[in-house]
């Protein structure tokens, strides 16, 4: 890199040569890791979900939790900063975020994010060639930017597991709303639907057309 580059030019060069599109090469590693550890990865996610539902059921038995309306899987940016690919899964009753009885578990999606964390370590070493124009703070911002792509992979994995989750013992015994929804997104922020009871969707559609 030329020493005459300003920070903006240095960042553009850094992104172009060491960041952009590099995540696509990680897909091969993620797919391989998944295929090698498929049973463990899937059972770990299912067991974690079942643990959440069982916890909610026990709270319902104690009278501290109403029927579950929402299960929310949260992507935690703070964890990514620490190379921790942990998702928080919460079960809420009709009070949604005002539900005062906490019911949550943690799930580790490291099999998806591991290649990202390794790539960022290499970027830390590469930045030394840019005469301090690329800082560790810049690397952290790049990491958060890239992590969204891996989060989308995690969401697709979760969505693929929904049919199995709905058959888990904890979910089946837990008292739930006919309109229960499963969401995934940033903690108490923008999210997308993983599952919505099809019967409730049909009811709303019929009502709208009446």
Reported pTM? 0.87
Q: In the predicted model, is pLDDT for residue 205 greater than 80?
A: no
Q: In the predicted model, is pLDDT for residue 51 greater than 60?
A: yes
Give 56-112 pLDDT, tens digit per residue: 999 999 999 999 999 999 999 999 999 999 999 999 999 888 888 999 999 999 999
Residue 187 in contact with residue 86, Cβ under 8 Å? no
Residue 71, domain member (yes or no): yes
85/109 Cα distance (integer angstroms): 5
Residue 179, domain member (yes or no): yes
Residue 12, domain member (yes or no): no
Q: What pLDDT, on the 0 to 100 scale, is given for residue 4?
A: 53
In degrees, rounded to 5, the angle at the alpha carbon of residue 183 between the alpha carbons of residues 182 and 189 is: 150
Residue 34, domain member (yes or no): no
133 lies in which domain range? 44-93+101-197
Compute φ and ψ for 74, nearest 5 degrees.
-105, 130
For the chain, give percent helix, strand, coil, nearest 5.
60, 20, 20
Residue 207, domain member (yes or no): no
165/121 Cα distance (integer angstroms): 35
Give 146-193 pLDDT, tens digit per residue: 999 999 999 999 999 999 999 999 999 999 999 999 999 988 778 899
Q: What pLDDT, on the 0 to 100 scale, is given for residue 99?
A: 87
Beta bridge partners of 127: none
Residue 13, domain member (yes or no): no
Which strand (E) or helix (H) includes residue 75? strand 68-75
Q: Count of domains in the chain?
A: 1
Residue 158, domain member (yes or no): yes
Residue 51, domain member (yes or no): yes
Task: Report the percent of the chain where pLDDT is more than 90.
Answer: 76
Cα–Cα nearest to 179, from 48, 70, 65: 70
* pLDDT confidence bin for 204, thresholds 50/70/90: very low
Q: Of residues 71 and 132, which shows the higher confidence score? A: 71
Q: In the predicted model, is pLDDT for residue 24 greater than 60?
A: yes
């Amino acid at each position: 890199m030329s020493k005459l580059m300003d920070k903006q030019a240095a960042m553009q060069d850094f992104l172009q040569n060491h960041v952009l599109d590099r995540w696509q090469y990680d897909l091969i590693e993620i797919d391989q890791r998944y295929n090698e550890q498929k049973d463990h990865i899937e059972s770990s996610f299912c067991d974690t979900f079942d643990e959440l539902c069982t916890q909610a059921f026990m709270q319902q038995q104690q009278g501290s939790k109403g029927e579950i309306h929402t299960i929310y899987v949260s992507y935690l940016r703070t964890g990514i900063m620490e190379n921790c690919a942990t998702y928080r899964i919460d079960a809420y009753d009709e009070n949604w975020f005002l539900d005062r009885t906490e019911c949550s578990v943690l799930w580790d999606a490291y099999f998806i994010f591991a290649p990202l964390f390794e790539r960022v370590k290499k970027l830390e070493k590469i930045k030394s060639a840019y005469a301090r124009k690329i800082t560790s703070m810049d690397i952290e911002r790049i990491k958060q930017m890239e992590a969204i792509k891996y989060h989308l992979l995690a969401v697709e994995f979760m969505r693929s597991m929904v049919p199995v989750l709905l058959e888990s013992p904890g979910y089946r015994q837990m008292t739930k709303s006919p309109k229960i929804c499963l969401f995934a997104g940033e903690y108490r922020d923008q999210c997308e639907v993983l599952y919505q009871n099809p019967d409730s969707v049909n009811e709303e559609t019929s009502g709208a057309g009446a």
